[in-house]
Amino acid sequence: MRAVLAAMLLAVSACATTPGEPTGDSVIQAKAIRELERRSGGRLGIAVVDARGKLVSADRGHERFAMCSTFKLLLAGQVFERAAKGVSLRTPLSFTRADLVSHSPGTEKLLGSDGRGEQRLGMAARDTVVLGDNTAANLILTQMGGPAVFTAALRRAGDTVTRLDRIETELNQNAPGDERDTTSPIAMATSAAAYIFGNRLQPGYRKQLRSWMVESQTGLARIRAGLPQDWLVGDKTGSCGTAYNDVAFAEAPDGRKYVIAIYLDRPTVEGAAANAVIAEATRLTMESIETAE
């Protein structure tokens, strides 16, 4: 009798699935992501949340990655938050030639022959998102009180992960093991969703932020390239030389809304090939989500 009972228990345990163990399509998708990561030679982090900020899908979602310029999306959101509290978007941001850093296509055009120039807070926010303007981001950070103030605003909103410690272009260093200027895919996607779809911003400011993301052309070969052409998509990229990142909102024709954050750290591929990894990661992830739904 004992032998029979033991055999039955063994048979049941052999057939049972461990609680929470991925099965079916999720296993196939996870294996495809791992293979894509292997081919990239780097570390790939993905998070997708819905319009309410609820997590839909993640892979290495809690791991830290250098933000590079993706922080500028949240920075622009904070500018609009401050505007709702009375800070004028026409606040002048004065600068000199010495303040200019690399990749500042909007701000550098405002530099006068005397070596001085002036941005406006609202236009600086626009240039950080649409153009990825580094000097504009620095001017905003200076005006608001520095990277620590940026991070403190995220903490008050519940983001305990994302941190900004330096300004452009030092924040792009991405030294191994350095947690400065990092986020996780889940933290970034969740914080971004609060600005893009949530109630962190007044409707007019929320609409403006989204329009800037759509206007930006820097990410056409990244997340956007992995989504159907009839979806409405806007994004903010970030590139550090050792990292290729993208954060986007995506709206399907049937009304489904998502924020997607993808971080590719230290790949052995570069340029167009790295962009293609992000596009393929997007395609695989969203196909898995649609299958599950």
- pLDDT confidence of residue 201: 98
Q: Is residue 196 part of a domain?
A: yes
Q: Is residue 107 part of a domain?
A: yes
Q: Is residue 33 part of a domain?
A: yes
pTM of the entire predicted model: 0.91
Which residues, listed in sequence order, are joined to residue 244 by a DSSP beta bridge?
239, 264
**Which residue in the list 13, 26, 40, 69 is annotated as catalytic?**
69
Number of residues in the chain: 293
pLDDT per residue as tens, the chain (293 positions): 444 334 433 333 333 333 344 455 668 888 999 999 999 999 999 999 999 999 999 999 999 999 999 999 999 999 999 999 999 999 999 999 999 999 999 999 999 999 999 999 999 999 999 999 999 999 999 999 999 999 999 999 999 999 999 999 999 999 999 999 999 999 999 999 999 999 999 999 999 999 999 999 999 999 999 999 999 999 999 999 899 999 999 999 999 999 999 999 999 999 999 999 999 999 999 999 988 76
- pLDDT confidence of residue 164: 98
Tally of domains in the chain: 1
- pLDDT confidence of residue 79: 98
Q: Is residue 15 part of a domain?
A: no
Q: Is residue 5 part of a domain?
A: no
Domain that residue 272 falls in: 24-292
Q: Is residue 208 part of a domain?
A: yes
What CATH number has the domain bearing residue 153? 3.40.710.10
- pLDDT confidence of residue 150: 98
- pLDDT confidence of residue 290: 84
- pLDDT confidence of residue 5: 36
Q: For residue 69, indicate whether it is catalytic.
A: yes
Q: Is residue 244 part of a domain?
A: yes
Q: Is residue 10 part of a domain?
A: no
